[in-house]
Structure 1
Amino acid sequence: MRQALAQRDEVAATGGAIRWGLAGLALATLLSSLGTSIANVGLPALALAFEVPFREVQWVVLAYLLSITTLIVGVGRLGDMVGRRRLLLAGIALFTAASAVAGAASNLWMLVAARAVQGLGAAVMMALATAFVGDTVPKARIGRAMGLMGTMSALGTALGPSLGGVLIAAFGWPAIFLATVPPGVVAFLLVRRHLPADREETGSGQGRFDIAGTLILALTLAAYALAMTGGHGWLDSVLLLTAAGGAGLFLAVERAVEARTASPLLRTAMLRDRGLCGRLSMSMLVATVLMATLVVGPFHLARALGLGAAAVGIVMSAGPLVAALTGVPAGRLVDRFGAERMTILGLTAVAAGCILLALLPATLGVAGYGVPIAVVTAGYALFQTANNTAVMADVEKDRRGVVSGLLNLSRNLGLVTGASAMGAVFTLATGAEVAAAAPDAVAAGTRTTFAVAGGLIAVALAIAVGMVRRR
């Protein structure tokens, strides 16, 4: 009897530790997404405070995004080698300290530097929070945990604009950075107290960290991301060529490293894994379409539907809010019905929403735009949860960090590509300067953009169905 009670207490204590550990991971995920959205709303106030033009102040956002995009795969692999818990703690501490420095910045470039460091901390948090799910959660419940991570990411995106606006109005621009310091401390304490310690053998026998591959990949991704931001004229073409050459050089270096040591940044066999490459491709395609909703939405609501700034903000926050509310139920569906079925169902919902946006007339008003957007974002939440679960459930323990980094990288590259490519489609389809275009022209541009988006999702669906048939 005593032994049974002791076992019950041990199980309860373990379950409690898992819940509190997941709370720490969820908070880290929330902070990393909040770091992007809360800064966007502060750009006008920062431009006034530092007396700089917009092309300079936008580096407050770009420095953060570039840092995440270029470093997330490298930090994921580093976590596999040195221990995910200790590196995650370092990442949270770095993010929190950089937030405090950003809030105290006396000039723009000090703020930009602090944001770049904050982005490094966010890259660690993004990559290792996802990787840790496989270490702490039973396989049968991974879908629910991934749904929770997706919910917190969407919640951070939705919360940023409104929270940032309130903080700036009440306390000034430093508050949007200082506000993340207390929850950063809480996340650090939760992770330190409740996540399992790294195994002593972590890092043994794995060789040295692949510095050359990491640097080449970081420079390649930076060149691509900068080219996609546009506005550099002929330099954009040079950057794209540099990115293409860098990708080839990276693969050559990784083959050479793999021949000499057991610890390349990326095993070339992973690139021959059709399942992994297919899921990374789908993630990038869906993220590209999701960015279309953020690029096109403000112009469609303001120009085609004639809404004021406050109403535009409310309608725009509805999409991330739907994704946040859908995340945990999506995880339960994945655990019950399987990741492959839910991947296809999620993609089908995104495609349906895009088709509605491409066909419905602007005369239907806010409902004609808001309902399809809700379908798109709900489908995105289901797809992301199912896709991440399928990738992370079966990956080897010593590669979870780098694979998690690749998942987050594919999403970030999709967002960067979507901002450029879908924005260009919208501009061309509108046929004039968007800010001065007639309502009918903007509505036509919206329909064309989402018709293209529907085509991209059709490609993703073809990949998903092909993977199921191969199985």
Structure 2
Amino acid sequence: MAVAEQNRELISAPQPTRSVGLALASLSLATLLSSLGTSIASVGLPSLMQAFDASFQAVQWVVLAYLLAITTLIVGAGRLADMFGRRPLLLGGIALFTLASVVCGLAPTLWLLIAARAVQGLGAALMMALTLAFVAQTVSKERTGSAMGLLGAMSAVGTTLGPSLGGLLIAGLGWRAIFLVNVPLGLLTFALAWRGLPARGGTMEAGRGTFDVIGTALLALTLGAYALALTLGRGNFGVLNLGLLVAAGVGVILFAMAQAKAKMPLVQPARPRDPRLSAGLATSLIVATVMMATLVVAPFYLTRALGLDAGMVGMVLSTGPLVSTLSALLAGRLTDRFGAHGMTATGLAILATGTLLLSLALTRLGIASYVVPIAVTCFGYALFQTANNAAVMGGVSANERGVVSGLLNLSRNLGLITGASLMGAIFAMASSDARHGIGQQLSSSAAAARGMQITFRTATALALAALVIALLSVRAGRKSNLP
């Protein structure tokens, strides 16, 4: 008992000021790298199609592989930290991300690039899951809020910086540079983490317990089957696609059964007594699907329909994340003043308006045909995200917040995967050219504009469906006399 108390004191003891600074610097850079990995690759998709003479459906997997790997591992990363310790696991995640970035940048084939991106996603999942966990251990209680705000800001910077930095790198050095830029940043992050993170970076359970290997494998196979069902066939939905969707459905059932029997499940079962919790998770998934379409589809519209070069495409694509970042503070104030549920619906209505404007895709207006609608869309997204998170987390008891937070992140990641695959498939079909085959060339301005229009008409329908779900859930909550 005395030894346990002594270990607990050592783990929670404040770190020297210099070590705290180094630790926060390493955690900030790790957060930046993981978010940069998502946003910087999207701007390179048109260049990858040309470099590898590949279809749109094939290069989609450069984004999808990264997202699938993150979604698969991030739900179990906390358990791995309990078993092996946070410090070695975070250092391993940084090293894995950096080494995979080298392979990405040097990959001679598209499929090796995709495989390396999956490994890079595994490293990113470890970084994303463990950086927040390290904050409470590294800084004093009085500075925890500031440290959390710093990590949130770095995540936003990574998302905003990705398209513009990627565009400039592609224009000046080629597509390989968007992956190789992570190498010096990764080495710096590893060095700072090695020096600054507390040596006792594990939890009291380090080395104990088991990891849900079966659940992780089922989750990976289910997500992989789902993504393949929406991307194979070059836009033609056939027997193979249907079979993969059925396999994904069976995988969901098997995963749920495995989680019910597991001693340490990846996803803890929740009891959503409030219908608004289920609605919050559903709308989070739908909105993430819509927003991912802007990252995957927009580069082709800007490149092929508007004729912009890679550098300018990156700058224009940065508009959306920048608006979301700048709107976050205002969204928080509006939510506090007018209530989370009302602002959730308002955010969805604004988002639907923005996607409707994107669906018009009036190329004669030039860059404004994208910048103005995406600004409206991203303001609505920022308002929705802030309000929905507040509504979901505010409606559960304290002992359920960890579970619900995990479900909220899982629903968002599933939406990102759906957006990259489903919305990408819709774009490929809509921009098909009978002379060249579905999604093969995307060379004409009219084809790219048509693909943009139909994709965002679908996105508008999804946003309106989310709005209906949100409104119905509020009505159901009032009937149940829920606060």
Q: Normalised by the shorter chain, which TM-score bucket?
A: 0.7 to 0.9
* 1:446–1:464 CA distance, 2 compared to 1 (3 A): same
Matched, 1:211 2:216: no
Count of aligned positions: 450
SS of 2:339 mapped into structure 1: helix
Asked whether the 8 Å contact 2:302–2:308 carries over to 1, the reply is no
Alpha-carbon distance, 1:287 to partner: 0.5
C-alpha distance in 2 between matches for 1:12 and 1:102 = 39
Matches within 5 A, 1:29-428: 29-43=31-45, 59-105=61-107, 107-132=109-134, 148-194=150-196, 197-198=200-201, 200-203=203-206, 207-231=209-233, 233-257=238-262, 261=263, 263-269=264-270, 277-294=278-295, 297=298, 307-310=306-309, 313-327=314-328, 329=329, 333=333, 337=336, 341-342=339-340, 344-345=342-343, 348-355=346-353, 357-358=355-356, 362=362, 367=368, 369-385=370-386, 387=388, 406-422=407-423
Paired with 1:275 and 1:89, the residues of 2 have a C-alpha distance of 39
- SS of aligned partner of 2:265: coil
**TM-score, normalized by length of structure 2?**
0.73
In the superposition, relative to structure 1, how do residues 267 and 49 fare at CA in structure 2: closer, same or farther (>3 Å)? closer
The answer to whether the 8 A contact 1:430-1:444 is kept is no
Q: Could you tell me whether the CA contact under 8 Å between 2:163 and 2:315 is conserved in 1?
A: no
For residues 399 and 58 of structure 1, do their structure 2 counterparts lie closer, same or farther at Cα, with a shift above 3 Å needed? Answer: same
Once the two structures are superposed, residues 412-449 of structure 1 have per-residue CA deviations (whole angstroms, 9 ceiling, x without a partner) of 22122234444566788899988574899678647733
CA distance in 2 between partners of 1:388 and 1:104 (Å): 40
| Runs of 5+ consecutive residues of structure 2 not aligned to the other structure | 1-12, 435-441
User: RMSD over aligned Cα, in angstroms?
Assistant: 4.6
TM-score scaled to structure 1, two decimals? 0.75
Contact conserved, 1:352 with 1:375, CA < 8 A, in 2?
Answer: yes
1:69-104 C-alpha deviation (Å, 9 max, x unpaired): 332222243235544443222211211122233334
Asked if 2 retains the 8 angstrom alpha-carbon contact of 1:345 and 1:379, the reply is no
1:451 aligns with one of 460, 469, 472? 460
Structure 2 CA distance for aligned equivalents of residues 441 and 371 of structure 1 = 19
Q: Does the Cα contact within 8 Å between 1:283 and 1:414 map onto a contact in 2? A: yes
CA distance 1:40–1:72, shift in 2 (3 Å): same
Which residue number corresponds to residue 4 of structure 1?
none
Task: Go from structure 1 to structure 2 and tell me whether the alpha carbon gap of 1:460 and 1:131 turns closer, same or farther (over 3 Å shift).
Answer: farther
Structure 1 unaligned runs (5+)? Answer: 1-10
Give 1 or 2: higher helix fraction.
Answer: 1
272 and 18 in structure 1: CA distance in 2 versus 1, 3 angstrom threshold: farther
Moved more, 433-442 or 223-232: 433-442
Residue 268 of structure 1 aligns to a residue whose secondary structure is coil
The Cα shift of 1:467 comes to: 6.1
My pick for the range that moved more, 17-26 or 94-103, is 17-26
For residues 464 and 296 of structure 1, do their structure 2 counterparts lie closer, same or farther at Cα, with a shift above 3 Å needed? farther
In the other structure, the counterpart of 1:25 is 27
How far, CA to CA, are the matches of 1:211 and 1:396 in structure 2?
29
The one-letter code sitting in structure 2 at the alignment partner of 1:238 is: G
Aligned equivalents of 2:379 and 2:226: distance in 1?
A: 29
Determine if contact 2:68/2:220 at 8 Å carries over to the other structure: no
Report the alpha carbon displacement of residue 290 of structure 1 after superposing the two structures with TM: 1.2
2:461 counterpart SS class: helix
Q: CA deviation at 1:151?
A: 4.3
